[in-house]
């Protein structure tokens, strides 16, 4: 008989008291109905590793939606988001969010397809998961509270720092596990278990069975890691990164630029768009469009990649040491900030970087004091001339030719009675 390992003390040490209390209440409610409740997945893994993880996943051998509705009454606060098709619920209150799932088994009609699910036992629920280190569970019913369930050797693989799939068809059933395996390997500083590594390399072509949306989600998860460049380097090394696009590189240049992006964004992580723009920087416009189309980026991220690619063509102009501020503004105005920052980090010209920094720190915030209504009061008739003069005033302000509202008024008064200068092209 195997040793019973109880993690109740670890739960109390590592999780906030409010979450611990919630799990105890949830276990009591479940037990009163003759059902069983478990804490599962990544949070169990991280409890054993001593890592912080507050994303709680609970699995009930019963009805997750019914349980969520009972618990919301018990804690007397919060809201429930339900997904009846999969019989799952998300319970949210204060700053907490708990996922409740009905124990289930999964089958795959074909490689890459979303699974068909049906209610099952905790054993089958754990077997459907990706890697052994994510298959462990903790009993939450009062009579066995804190007891570890480890059916597939997850604890042993944690001790030996191994990422191991559960069966030979794992990557065939769901090739997104390839990307997740690399992410866990690099996050935890583990190694892919030799047979798992062999199967991963064998099944890289199966990534073609996965939709661009699902691949994009995995990429975005990677870019939210502490050191995403480590995952991308490993992905290039194994031939996985080329499945996104053959021209993408996870090399030392990318690692250096990602680190610079983190220094700029500290204490926060860089926005995903900035990381993406740096990753895609070596691509041509056509290759960038292919990547956008394949991964079906939402509008904002697609615009960041397009802006970054377009700005790359202006770096030579921005490298001119004689550029006046209004010209710098015209070259950079209208592009989204992550794309501008990406070009500042990626370009080789110190002068261009200085000009971009001037725009980011100062020029983009400069506005003329006079408005269209002010110009009308001065005596300029409504029409296109108003916009032309406002543009000229803005340029004068950018270039330091005027520094006050009165200075702008004098400039306009000097233009009255004659056509204002034609704005530069």
Tens of pLDDT, residue by residue over 231-251, are 999 999 999 999 999 999 999
pLDDT in tens, 330-374: 999 999 999 999 999 999 999 999 999 999 999 999 999 888 888
Q: For residues 28 and 107, what is the distance between their CA atoms, to the nearest angstrom?
A: 32
Residue 107 has a pLDDT of 65
* H-type alpha helices, 146-284: 154-159, 170-173, 176-188, 194-202, 212-222, 228-238, 252-265, 272-279
Q: Report whether pLDDT(122) > 50.
A: yes
Average pLDDT of the residues in 91-100 = 91
**What does the pLDDT average to over 46-74?**
92
- Where are the CATH 3.30.460.10 domain residues in the chain? 8-159
pTM: 0.88
> From CA 69, how far away is CA 79, in angstroms rounded?
9
Task: Check residue 355 and give its pLDDT.
Answer: 97
- 305-315 average pLDDT score: 97
14, 155 Cβ separation under 8 angstroms: no
Where does the pLDDT of residue 384 fall: very low under 50, low under 70, confident under 90, or very high at 90 and above?
Answer: confident
CATH tag, 8-159: 3.30.460.10
Partnered with residue 139 across adjacent β-strands are 38
């Amino acid at each position: 008989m195997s040793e019973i390992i109880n993690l109740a003390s670890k739960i109390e040490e590592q999780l906030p008291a409010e979450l611990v209390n919630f799990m105890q209440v949830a276990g009591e409610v479940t037990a009163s109905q003759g059902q069983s409740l478990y804490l599962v997945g990544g949070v169990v893994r991280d409890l054993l590793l001593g890592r912080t993880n507050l994303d709680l996943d609970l699995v009930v051998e019963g009805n997750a939606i019914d349980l969520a509705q009972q618990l919301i009454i018990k804690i007397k606060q919060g809201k429930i988001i339900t997904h009846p098709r999969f019989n799952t619920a998300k319970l949210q209150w204060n700053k907490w969010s708990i996922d409740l799932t009905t124990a289930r088994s999964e089958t795959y009609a074909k490689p890459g397809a979303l699974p068909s699910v049906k209610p099952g036992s905790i054993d089958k629920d754990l077997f459907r998961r990706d890697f052994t280190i994510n298959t462990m569970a903790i009993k939450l019913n009062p009579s066995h509270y804190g007891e570890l369930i480890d059916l597939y050797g997850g604890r042993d693989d944690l001790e030996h720092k191994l990422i191991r799939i559960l069966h030979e068809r794992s990557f065939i059933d769901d090739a997104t596990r390839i990307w997740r395996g690399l992410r866990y390997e690099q996050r935890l500083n583990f190694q892919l278990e030799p047979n798992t590594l062999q199967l991963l390399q064998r099944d890289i072509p199966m990534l073609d069975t996965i939709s661009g949306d699902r691949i994009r989600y995995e990429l975005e998860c990677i870019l939210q890691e502490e050191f995403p460049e480590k995952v991308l380097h490993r992905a290039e090394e194994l031939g996985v990164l080329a499945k996104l696009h053959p021209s993408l590189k996870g090399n030392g240049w990318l690692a250096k630029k990602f680190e610079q992006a983190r220094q700029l964004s500290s204490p926060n992580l860089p926005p995903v768009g900035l990381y993406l723009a740096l990753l895609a920087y070596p691509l041509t416009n056509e290759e960038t469009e292919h990547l956008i189309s394949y991964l079906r980026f939402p509008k904002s991220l697609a615009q960041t990649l397009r802006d970054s690619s377009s700005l790359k063509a202006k770096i030579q102009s921005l490298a001119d040491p004689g550029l006046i501020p209004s010209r710098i503004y015209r070259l950079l105005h209208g592009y989204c900030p992550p794309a501008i920052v990406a070009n500042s980090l990626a370009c080789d010209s110190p002068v261009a970087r200085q000009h971009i920094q001037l725009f980011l720190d100062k020029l983009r915030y400069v506005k003329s004091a006079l408005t269209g209504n002010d110009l009308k009061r001065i005596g300029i008739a409504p029409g296109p001339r108003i916009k032309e003069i406002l543009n000229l005033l803005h340029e004068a302000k950018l270039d330091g030719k005027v520094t006050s509202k009165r200075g702008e008024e004098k400039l306009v008064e000097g233009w009255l009675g004659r056509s204002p200068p034609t704005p530069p092209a």
